[in-house]
Chain A
Amino acid sequence: MKKAFWLAGAMALALAQPATAADSVKIGFVSTFSGPTAVIGNDMRNSFELALDHLGRKIDGKPVEVIYEDDQQKPDVGKQKTEKLVQSDKVDFIVGYIWSNVLLASLKTAVDSKTFLISANAGPSQLAGELCSPYVFSTSWQNDQTPAAMGLYMNQKGVKSVFLIGPNYAAGKDMLAGVKSTFKGEVVGEEYTVWPSQLDFSAELTKARNSRAESIFVFYPGAAGVQFLNQYAQAGIKAQIPLYTAFTVDELSLPLQKDNAIGIPGAQEWVNDLPNAENKKFVEDYRKKYPGLRPTYYGAQAYDAAQLINSAVVAVKGDLTKKDAMKAEMEKANFKSLRGPFKYGNNHIPIQNFYLQDVVKDTDGQLSLKTVATIVKDDQDKFHDKCSMK
């Protein structure tokens, strides 16, 4: 009885707290900060913090409070963390999400509460189509776009046939569908592996070699990309069948992939050497602030998310209750993106360029990524027609 009394008292106190007075901008950040893919989450956090530094740690003169939450790369955990941020922290924006399956699980919580959600990486096809929402924006891409660009490049190279390998989850399916949507040659095989637990690809590599395909396409983000390239090289397939990738070689995996990554092309919307002033400053300051580390596209997208939030808050002069005005401002993409200027489609997914990147030795003798060519200009995802927002 007494316990119940105290509990009631505590609840009354909690309710009596004033609704978040708009004296600060509260941002929830959901990403992976533990386990093998924690390096990705750390890179996103580093870049987000750098963006706040560049903004003078203030948005429209208000202090910024960021609450980082670890989704452990699990959809159920990501959903819980999103609920916590929305319901008990009452954040104004939620940013982050590396994994499409985590984002899909968390989406409804954010949308139902009309909290702005900015995906700084995951771009499941559903989000661009039937699940699009006025409260959801992306500073990355729709999953299919990057591999679709790779498919176009493979056509340019005159590749006749391909064997596809990818992980069995939302993004893996989008990625392989993306290549298939543009690649004109024959798809001789398509393998999905258990995600994220399967790390030995011997059975799939054996099948790929025996399929007599002219090329292999894979999508393996994070540590899995290192393991795949290791095994691809060890099996001697690197000398036989060229590999094309999306999100498999980046600045986090390169130090582990080393020479295995040389000669393996990837498609990307952001590369560290894109020639605009904001990007130069970002890359320089990142390397200064975090010695020994190099920024990735994950980080660049998180940086852009901070700038997008800034543009919206400044436009409404800090009145965070004016959600419609903030949405209208964000739709203009009125900020200096690290990838250069882009426009938003009706579904709040960027319409943007995709570049071909290659692995080279830079002036320090370290392996790094370099832009080789523009594969496609102003590319819009193919699901925007299914979005009810016009």
Chain B
Amino acid sequence: MYLVVEQLLNGLQFGLLLFLLAAGLTLVFGIMDFVNLAHGSLYMMGAYFAATFVAWTGSFVLGALMALGATLLLGIALEYVALRHLYGRDHLDQVLATFGLILFFNDAVRLIWGPAGLALPLPTWLTVPVQIIPGVYYPAYRLMIIAVALAVAAMLYLVVMRTRVGMLIRAGASNREMIGALGINIKLLFTLVFGLGAALAGLAGLMQAPILTVQIGMGENILILAFVIIVIGGIGSIRGAFMAAIFVGIIDTMGRAFLPDLLRKVLSGAAASTAAPALSSMLIYLLMAIILVLRPEGLFPAAKR
């Protein structure tokens, strides 16, 4: 029983982390109709910035905040210098250009920080396990990821649903030409949205960094999952991204945790051990395929006119 609780928490934590990455991607894709493969590079840059600033300042929180600001600025600069020239082009051009950016960022990181990767150590108060219910311990840092990601999700919801900027973002998502025609500075809005997306990706990267290592190409595998999530959730929908991310996180973790034991009941030990990891990593793609068949627009599609 405790095992299930703990694994659910693992799934929730993974899902919320994916949400931070997917939220930025779905905003940019849904509102600007822009396919940004370099989103994973911003995730990587967030982690590298954090590792650097934490080492400079000696404080995890301060360094993380500085890294967040730096990724936001980097996102805005990237949009201003390169990406805004691509909005009018078709998706293939965007994919090619942002794929080029992935290579650019990977080599830039190799030049600046070297090929070996960095470590982002946690302060001691975050390395202790916490007793959540009697007999169940959970890493404090993973609990913090859950708390921070939930807070960010709530803030994002308030900004998008309750503020004027949020209204413009929603309006942009359902009809871009119209809000342009109404005299809204759509260029500025796009720059802001892209910066926000970059900061969210950076936040995901820097929070993941102490669990994994900070290394070149760390954003590439996880970006695929983020795309799966926005397809499942409905492109442009933050609520969809939130629900889908938690689904994917829990399904992935539960699959890894319980599938091997289930398979061992039907198959021989060796065959089950080999098949289980492969099968459990397929589960989320299976989920995506089913959703694409049943609801091609995603679970919670953004309102379209």
Contact = CB atoms under 8 A, between A and B. Distances in A.
Interface of A: 35-36, 38-39, 42, 168, 173, 190-194, 197-200, 202-204, 206-207, 210, 223, 226-227, 230-231, 233-236, 252, 255-258
B185 interface: no
Contact of A35 (B2, B217, B269, B274): B217
B142 A223 contact: no
9 contacts: A198-B277, A206-B7, A206-B257, A210-B6, A234-B122, A234-B127, A234-B211, A256-B117, A256-B118
A210 B278 CA distance: 23
B210 A235 contact: no
Interface in B226-262: 253, 256-257, 260
Contacts of B3: 206-207, 210
Contacts of B276: 192
Given A234-B122, A234-B127, A258-B121, A200 B273 contact: no
A224 B58 CA distance: 26
A234 B273 CA distance: 26
B5 to A, nearest CB: 10
A158 to B, nearest CB: 26
B3 to A, nearest CB: 5
A258 B126 CA distance: 17
A17 B298 CA distance: 60
Interface string B2-21: 11001100100110000000
B115 A193 contact: no
B278 A202 contact: no
A324 B54 CA distance: 59
Contacts of A233: 127
A227 B211 contact: yes
A226 B119 contact: yes
A39 B274 contact: no
Contacts of B142: 202, 234
A227 B116 CA distance: 14
A216 B141 CA distance: 22
A223 B117 contact: yes
Given A206-B10, A230-B210, A235 B129 contact: yes
A83 B200 CA distance: 44
A256 B119 contact: yes
B287 interface: no
Chain B, interface residues (CB within 8 Å), range: 35 or more
A203 B129 contact: no
Contacts of B273: 168, 190-192
Given A204-B256, A223-B215, A230-B210, A236 B129 contact: yes
Contacts of B210: 230, 234
Contact of A200 (B7, B14, B128): B14
A199 B14 CA distance: 12
Nearest to B17: A200
Contact of A168 (B14, B121, B274): B274
Nearest to B221: A197
A153 B224 CA distance: 42
A190 B261 CA distance: 10
Contact of B115 (A42, A198, A231, A256): A42
Given A203-B7, A230-B213, A256-B213, 7 more contacts: A193-B277, A198-B256, A207-B257, A230-B212, A233-B127, A236-B128, A236-B139
A230 B117 CA distance: 14
Contacts of A191: 260, 273
Nearest 9 A/B pairs, CB to CB: A236-B129, A202-B10, A256-B119, A203-B257, A168-B277, A203-B256, A36-B215, A234-B139, A194-B277
B216 interface: yes
Contact of B213 (A173, A194, A203, A223): A223
Contacts of B116: 39, 252, 255-256
A202 B7 CA distance: 8
| Residue of B129, B137, B215, B276 contacting most chain A CB atoms (<10 Å) | B215
B137 A203 contact: no
A227 B212 contact: yes
| Residue of B3, B212, B221 contacting most chain A CB atoms (<10 Å) | B212
Interface in B184-229: 210-213, 215-218, 221
B175 interface: no
Contacts of B2: 210
A236 B137 CA distance: 8
Contacts of B126: 234
B281 A231 contact: no
Nearest to B257: A203
Contacts of B218: 36
Nearest to B14: A200
A225 to B, nearest CB: 10
Contacts of A192: 260, 273-274, 276-277
B24 to A, nearest CB: 20
Contacts of A234: 122, 126-127, 129, 139, 141-142, 210-211
A168 B278 contact: yes
A35 B3 CA distance: 35
Nearest to B6: A206
A235 B140 CA distance: 8
Contacts of B280: 194
A202 B14 contact: yes
B211 A231 contact: yes
| Residue of A191, A231, A236, A252 contacting most chain B CB atoms (<10 Å) | A236
B140 to A, nearest CB: 8
B77 to A, nearest CB: 27
A307 B280 CA distance: 45
